[in-house]
Amino acid sequence: MLKVYGVAQSRAFRALWMAEECGVAYEHVPTHFQTDAKQPDYLAINPNGRIPAIDDDGVIVWESMAVNLYLAKKYGKALGPKDLAEDAHASQWSFWVMTEVEKPLLNALFARTGMMGAKKDDAEAELLFGELKKPLEVLDRQLAQSPYLLGDRFTVADLNVASVLSWAQMGGFDLAPWTRVSAWLTGCLSRPAAAKARGGR
Ligand SMILES: N[C@@H](CCC(=O)N[C@@H](CS)C(=O)NCC(=O)O)C(=O)O
């Protein structure tokens, strides 16, 4: 049976959300990033000592976006790409959110909340969030063309991008200037599978 390693209060939320969307039977193996992920048995699964990772009957995958692209293609039916062009675009948006959005947004969230030992500083948080204007503009323009990133249906591309942008909601950052992003993100994060994954089952 598919095993998903991680805890919901981390990037493993993405993989748990995807597993829930797929409706596949899976075992959630609670693995805390500061403790369990550093133990030899977990390092044999992900030598980086990070979560999430999956073990799908012996197919081990780590890196959250790779995990989700695999799950979508194997179990996701309409959540996965239907042809090579969609496959390329699902990868494109997944790599994009990791390279253009993830780090500045996480730093902004840490400054906002004081998480992970960061100094709580709202001015700094807003400054860091300001670095995201360009990518948010890009996303907003895409969403002017189609309701979801690959077209008319919710796919792994939306899930991967929305899972990173969920930190903007968590940090209370104002997405109102990007009206389409704001509405799309609320829609994605309100999906029942997202709520179930957040529950950390
Ligand atoms: N690029 C990796 C990053 C994974 C990652 O850094 N996860 C954090 C939890 S949110 C972690 O395991 N941190 C433990 C550490 O860095 O030691 C991915 O997306 O899967």
Q: Measured in Å, how far apart are the chain's first and last C-alpha atoms?
A: 16
CA of 120 to the centre of ligand 1 (A): 22
How does pLDDT run across 154-165, given as a tens digit for each residue? 999 999 999 999
User: What is the structure's pLDDT at 199?
Assistant: 87
The residues spanned by each domain of the chain are 2-78, 80-191
CATH superfamily of the 2-78 domain: Glutaredoxin (3.40.30.10)
Cα separations in angstroms, 160 against 36, 50, 67, 120, 126:
25, 18, 10, 27, 24
CA of 88 to the centre of ligand 1 (A): 24
User: What is the structure's pLDDT at 200?
Assistant: 46
Average pLDDT over residues 120-143: 97
The DSSP symbol for 9 reads: S
User: Does residue 187 surpass a pLDDT of 80?
Assistant: yes
User: What is the structure's pLDDT at 185?
Assistant: 98
Within 6 A (CB) of ligand 1 lie: 10-11, 33, 37, 49-52, 63-64
CA of 144 to the centre of ligand 1 (A): 32
Buried b (16+ CB within 10 A) or exposed e, 109-142: bbbbeeeeebeeeeebbeebbeebeebbeebbeb
The DSSP symbol for 153 reads: S
How does pLDDT run across 46-71, given as a tens digit for each residue? 999 999 999 999 999 999 999 999 99
Class of domain 80-191: mainly alpha
Question: Is residue 193 very low, low, confident or very high in pLDDT (cuts 50, 70, 90)?
Answer: very high
Ligand 1 test: best mutation among 17, 51, 107, most atoms within 8 Å of CB?
51
User: What is the structure's pLDDT at 201?
Assistant: 44
Whole-prediction pTM: 0.97
d(CA 11, CA 50): 9
User: Does residue 135 surpass a pLDDT of 50?
Assistant: yes
Taking all residues of the chain, what is their mean pLDDT, rounded to a whole number?
Answer: 97
User: Does residue 36 surpass a pLDDT of 90?
Assistant: yes
CA of 2 to the centre of ligand 1 (A): 20
CA of 178 to the centre of ligand 1 (A): 28
User: What is the structure's pLDDT at 174?
Assistant: 97
Task: Kindly state the percentage of the chain with pLDDT values over 70.
Answer: 99
| Closest ligand 1 atom to 64 CA | 20
Average pLDDT over residues 144-153: 98
User: What is the structure's pLDDT at 166?
Assistant: 97
